[in-house]
Each structure stands twice: as C-alpha cells, then as structure tokens.
Homo-oligomer: A and B are copies of this chain.
C-alpha cells in the first residue's frame, strides 16, 4: 500500500498540513495594499511618535503655573510652522495637535479659562501642574522602536499605525495564488442551459467567494471527467494552492489521484476518518500544495473550512485556525460510527457564553444550511464540560 492510502484521523491530516506547507516568500507590500497580510519581519518606526511636542487640548499654553492673569501674545493653529516662544506671564492660544511654543509649562483647557480681550484668567478647575495636557515627542513610540512585530496581522488599525509613522511599505508574506478546478462532465457554468443529467457547478463560484473574502487570488477552471484533460490542467499548474473538486475517491471515474501522481505530486493522504471528507487528497510538489476535495457542495464547503484554511494560514504565516469550545443550543443527532462528523452552525452569544446552533443537513448535497453558517462544529463532545469543539469562521 502506497503511503497516503491508509485511512488517517483528522488530527493526523492537520499535522501533515502543518509539516508540509511552507510559508510564502516575504515581499515589500505597499501599506495601502497590505490589509489581511502578515508582517514578515519586525517593522521599525522611522520617526518618533508623536513627531513633536504638542497640545492635547484646545486652550491656552502657559509658561508657568502662576495663577495671575496672563496676556495672550499670539496663536498657534494647525499647520503653523513656527510655534514661537512663551515667557512668564504670557499665554498662547493653542489647539489640539499643534506644536507647543518654546517654554510651555502646561496647557489649560479653554473651558477652564476666563478670557477678557487679550487677558486670560484661570477658573477654579484649571489644572496647571507641569506637563498637563501636553503630549511629548516620542512618548508613544521612539524612533527605531518596533511598531509591529514580525507575524502581526495587518488590520485596518495596523494600517493606521504604520501610516501615522510615515511607513508606506511593509515586509509581508505574499498571498498564495490558488487555482480551483471543478471536475465533472455533468457540470454546466451558471447561466448555461441544463441538459439531461446536467447540474450547475456551484463549487467554483462558492470557492471564488470564500477566497475573495480572504483576499486570496483564485483562477477557476472546469474540466470534464477525462483523465487527459485533468492531467494537463494539473501538470501545468504554476501557482501555490491547487484545489480540485471531485474525483478524489477510488471510483472508475475518479481521476484526481492519478492526475496528481502523474504530474509529480506526492500524495500524503487520500482517506480521512471524517464525515464529510472520507475521500480527500492532500498532496505536495515542492512548495506547491494540492487538495482533492469532495465534489458534493456541502462536503466541499466543510473540507475547505476544516482543512484548506489551515493550509492557507500556513502559506500566509498566520495562526492556524483554532477549535474553541461552544455550547450547543440543541442536541446533535447521534452519529454512531466513530467518524469525526462536521456540522455547519451559527454562532450566538448569550450571557457571556458562546452557543452554536447546528444547521441540520439532509445529506452532503444539501446546500441550504450553508447560507447562514458562520461556525463549523465537530461531534466530539467533551465528557466533562459537555462542550463541542468549533471553528469560528
């Protein structure tokens, strides 16, 4: 028996994926295009943050804490190049974010000031201790400090932080390029007319949407159940992640395993003790990764979330998807045969707890539960807590 032909557990496939999938190469990405990528190195700040001493409030800069009336000598507004100098007994009109005049001791909020012409008196609540309502250059981040450590998910907040430091390019792991091949002579592209025995290909558009939502580039193909056509498509694949829908079983018309082998792929697993997903191929060729996924749409969706997202996370350098324990809102139908069984589910948060509503499915061709699923539930109840391991999608 060739390696990869014996039935393996779900956890063993996860270990294979972790071991065989290598993070993509790092490249410099414009910060404006970096949303959803992972930093490939520590990102160091080129300037102090904030870049200059400035006021935290609209109000008046004072040169000392004396409570005597002060004379307003000038005003500093946003964009002013020169904030000037302030001396004892003087006040400078100032606004949030603007540079401090030399000699500033504190800023008093305008609502704590009584202004009469060019004279400022301080109200009872005015705070005048040294440094009040001032922000000092470099108090958030010193020049040369790490702004984002290696391995950070570049969120919208991270983009704001990088931009505020003047960083326009960031070392990030490049996104893998994926290809999805729907196999099946019965498949018709949406919009076509169905002949006898034909159905629409829904796995291709579904995978396009799943990868669009992750900002992963996908090329789609459709090939009939003809070994030579699948072989050509597989052999010519130049991207990182190849997803083949259908034909992964041992049947007479299942060409996926042979096509991968003939194209130089090593098959590491082809039968998983998982429902859906018993016929599922995991293979590699150098750094390239291929999955042969079940063609039934529900199985296809489940195996994407249970296995393919883990490979994507490895490519992208992000944390692998973690199972979390959830309460069930209703009992699962008892499975019985010991296979790990997956159920699409919908999250609910109640009273500080995570519940999931299992979305019943009639059989693996049933797509109706997928529309509202945002979790994926495994039928392995923890005997002590009665909780169920769940992927948050």
Give the contact stretch, choosing among A78-86, A235-243, A331-339: A78-86
Query: Are A251 and B58 interface neighbours, CB within 8 A?
Result: yes
Interface string of A55-77 (1 = CB under 8 A from B): 01010000000000000000001
Complex-state Cα separation, A326 to B156, whole angstroms: 23
Interface size on A, residues (CB 8 A): 103
Separation in Å of the A149 CB from the closest CB of chain B? 10
Known: A56-B365, A78-B184, A352-B385. 13 other contacts (CB 8 A): A50-B365, A51-B194, A78-B253, A80-B197, A81-B196, A140-B365, A140-B367, A155-B370, A155-B373, A163-B206, A164-B199, A168-B190, A324-B350
B196 and A160 contacting across the interface, CB-CB below 8 Å: no
Residues of B contacting A56 in the complex (Cβ-Cβ under 8 angstroms): 363, 365
Contact between B163 and A194, CB atoms less than 8 A apart: no
Smallest Cβ-Cβ distance to A392: which chain B residue? B349
Give the docked Cα–Cα distance between A36 and B213 (Å).
9
Of A7-15, A20-28, A95-103, A281-289, the one with at least 4 CB within 8 A of chain B: A95-103
User: Is there contact, CB below 8 Å, between A326 and B301?
Assistant: no
What's the number of copies of this chain in the assembled complex? 2
> B301 to A325, Cβ gap below 8 A?
no
Q: Say yes or no: A163 contacts B372, CB within 8 Å.
A: no
Is the CB–CB distance between B97 and A160 below 8 Å? Answer: no
Residues of A within 8 A of B (CB): 31-32, 35-36, 47, 50-52, 54, 56, 58, 77-83, 95-99, 110, 135, 139-141, 148, 152-153, 155-161, 163-168, 184-186, 190-191, 194-203, 205-210, 212-213, 224-225, 249, 251-253, 295-297, 301, 324-327, 344, 349-354, 362-363, 365-374, 385, 387, 392
A158 and B370 alpha carbons, distance in the complex (Å): 6
